[in-house]
Amino acid sequence: ADGHAPVIAGPDRDPREVYPSDPELEIGEFEIPAEGLTDQQRKRALNRLETYLVGKHGTMVGFQGNQDMARCQQDLGRFLEFHLNNVGDPFQQGNYKVNTKIVERAVLDHYASLWRAAWPYDAENPDSYWGYVLTMGSTEGNLYALASARDYLSGKKLITEPGGDDGQPVAQMMYVQAAPPTPAAGGDPRPEAPDNAYRPVAFYSEDTHYSVIRAVRTLAIDTFAAIGRREYPGQCPIADEWPMEVPSRGGAEGSGEIDVEALEGLVRFFAERGHPILLLLNFGTTFKGAYDNVEKVAARLVPIFAEHGLLEREIEFEPGRIDRRRGFWVHVDGALGAGFMPFLRIAAAEERGSELAVQLRREIKGKIPEFDFGLEVHGVDVVSSLVMSGHKWPGAPWPCGVFMTKNKFRVEPPATPAYTGSPDTTFAGSRNGLSPLVLWNHLASRSIREHAALAVRALRVTRYLESSLRELEDRLDREDRLPEGGLHVDRSPMALTVRFLRPNDHLVEKWSLSCQPMPVKSGGPRHYAHVFAMPSVTEEKVDAFVEDLFAEGAFDRPE
Ligand SMILES: COC(=O)[C@H](CCSC)/N=C/c1c(COP(=O)(O)O)cnc(C)c1O
């Protein structure tokens, strides 16, 4: 009004008309005016939000997030008094002293023991684990793993003692593009395609989480489909046209596991042409909770790697400076599965007559699948890196997780910023110092056996959920209210989730259901929803959910 530029820009339109309205929450209560909000206004808004969240929290069954926050607030609330920042490498104290790196190391050690890696961390031991607690969730871990794999396979300098060739500290680590590799003695040099040796090819299945697709694009990593369509048109070994992703067994209506035979054919095609292989396997897929058979994949691919000089190859940085490394990288996306499968393995190792072992055998008939650093095939430790989300199985009030690899696979960090006093070896700059506390509290609050019992219980609740949905199908059928084609109840082997026909929007909203259309052979997409039996989902919650599905119109489709 007085001709001066406004202190802050006013709204072009009323946010209440623009943002999606929610009957329980009004955006107008949360907008922040130039004069701020009074204490009373802030308290009213926060109370309104808490009431909303309490309601949703009680019926949250649709995603893989464990809603049981255990003792987070009581035990850890006091740490909100600090700006906890674990900036830099977890194993180097650095100059930012208000950190929880000592807790982070304890958490990493424990996961290294659960994932059968060599621990504690030892910089001198190539086989020792190295890892860090993620500030985002498995998306960050997958991004970091794929970036590491890309650089490792394309000949970037591996991590070495800090310092240059003359032993003097270097101001800035630079990437060194190595000369084309000469396959180790006995390998068959392929002069016809020396440049492929630094062109890693990425493989992942059609059930892979969308964050991986974003990651390969962000990192400019070529997938087998991209190179196949561009450089080998019409030569796909498994289909007339190169599929965008490795097919899953049985396609969209299958279990969600990767088709190992299809993968083998695709990998062989590129290994024969000298490409290093970058493979991402799922261990608990997003929608079906399926586990790629890591053992079977390894048994099929290791001989191919051996045949084509990819088990170990020599890379020469500068004349006379030889570096021996692999021509493949296997990353296991264990966002959900890496958090609880180790505990099932522990339950299976119990005395055969123990209550835990007996309960486990009721849930799982076969062997507990291997997916971690302990898996060896033909003497090769197959897994190069692993990731887990902390807000899934463990249960955290915010996204977090763990990334883990081995020293021998680590690539030189692009920078060693003096001002943090620590090499820049993680993905983030500032790193969440509270997340290690949450994971530590989760792990330390129970014995290994009690964690194992929790994992077995989740399998039991999942089985209860599946049987309850199948009984519901019979009840609806008896009352002639069953949707045409039935409820399509399905559960993949050992999955913690059951999928079924998507119910109406009201129930999707009430129970926070994650939904996905699936292309099916008999015509258009079939709309599914799923429930994950995380530790916060009880039989009582399942009963209440299924009763809602029995109500009139529960499966009415929006017009
Ligand atoms: C629809 O469900 C999701 O997108 C959930 C995250 C929400 S559950 C808390 N899944 C995330 C996920 C991710 C990404 O993990 P986050 O970054 O921790 O969400 C990576 N890999 C797999 C196999 C995943 O399932």
> Any residues with Cβ below 6 Å from ligand 1, and which?
63-65, 136-139, 142, 209, 211, 282, 285-286, 333, 335, 389, 391-392, 399, 401, 514
Report pLDDT digits (tens) over 217-268.
999 999 999 999 999 999 999 999 999 999 999 999 999 999 999 999 999 9
Report pLDDT digits (tens) over 145-167.
999 999 999 988 777 633 345 54
Report CA 553 to chain centroid distance, whole Å: 36
**CA dihedral sign of residues 158, 159, 161, 162:** positive
Report CA(191)–ligand 1 centroid distance (Å).
Answer: 42
Residues 235, 31: Cα–Cα separation, whole Å: 57
Residue of 57, 139, 209 with the most ligand 1 atoms within 8 Å of its CB, for mutation = 209
Residues 346, 540: Cα–Cα separation, whole Å: 28
Position in ligand 1 atom list of the atom nearest CA 65:
9
- Nearest 5 degrees, angle CA 173-CA 175-CA 179? 140
pLDDT reading at 487 higher than 80: yes
Two structure tokens written together for 231: 């450089």
Residue of 64, 69, 245, 386 with the most ligand 1 atoms within 8 Å of its CB, for mutation = 64
Report CA(139)–ligand 1 centroid distance (Å).
Answer: 7
Two structure tokens written together for 211: 């964050």
Residues 41, 20: Cα–Cα separation, whole Å: 22
The helix (H) or strand (E) run that includes residue 147 is helix 138-153
Nearest CA to ligand 1 atom 11: 286
Give the pLDDT score at 369.
97
Q: Structure pTM? A: 0.93
Residues 357, 351: Cα–Cα separation, whole Å: 7
Peptide bond just before 120 cis, omega within 30 deg: yes
Closest by Cα among 219, 205, 215, 74 to 136: 215
Phi, psi of 248 (to 5 degrees): -95, 155
- Nearest 5 degrees, angle CA 404-CA 410-CA 411? 135
Residues 189, 170: Cα–Cα separation, whole Å: 35
Task: Please spell the DSSP secondary structure of 257-318, one letter per residue.
Answer: -B-HHHHHHHHHHHHTTT--EEEEEEBS-TTT--B--HHHHHHHHHHHHHHTT-SSEEEESS
Position in ligand 1 atom list of the atom nearest CA 333:
21
Query: For residues 285 and 208, is the Cβ–Cβ distance under 8 A?
Result: yes
Report CA(48)–ligand 1 centroid distance (Å).
Answer: 28
Give the pLDDT score at 155.
86
Nearest CA to ligand 1 atom 4: 286
Report CA(208)–ligand 1 centroid distance (Å).
Answer: 10
Nearest CA to ligand 1 atom 3: 286
Report the 3 state secondary structure along 157-222. Answer: CECCCCCCCCCCCCCCCCCCCCCCCEECCCCCCCCCCHHHHHCCEEECECCCCHHHHHHHHHCCCC
Burial of 549 (0-12, 13-18, 19+ CB in 10 A): buried
ipTM over 0.95: yes
Residue of 392, 528, 532, 534 with the most ligand 1 atoms within 8 Å of its CB, for mutation = 392
Position in ligand 1 atom list of the atom nearest CA 140:
17
Closest by Cα among 411, 419, 404, 420 to 88: 420
Q: Which residues contact 296 (CB under 8 A, 6 or more apart)?
A: 260
Amino acid at 192: E
Residue count (the chain): 559
Nearest CA to ligand 1 atom 18: 137
Position in ligand 1 atom list of the atom nearest CA 514:
1
Position in ligand 1 atom list of the atom nearest CA 399:
18
Residues 500, 557: Cα–Cα separation, whole Å: 14
What count of other Cβ atoms lies within 10 Å of the Cβ of residue 263?
A: 24
* Range scoring the smallest mean pLDDT among 157-161, 275-279, 381-385: 157-161
Count of CA atoms in the C-beta half-sphere (13 A) of 380? 25
Report CA 432 to chain centroid distance, whole Å: 18
Report pLDDT digits (tens) over 174-222.
334 444 445 544 444 444 445 799 899 999 999 999 999 999 999 999 9
Please tell me which of 3-17, 322-336, 400-414, 456-470 the model is most confident about, judged by mean pLDDT: 456-470
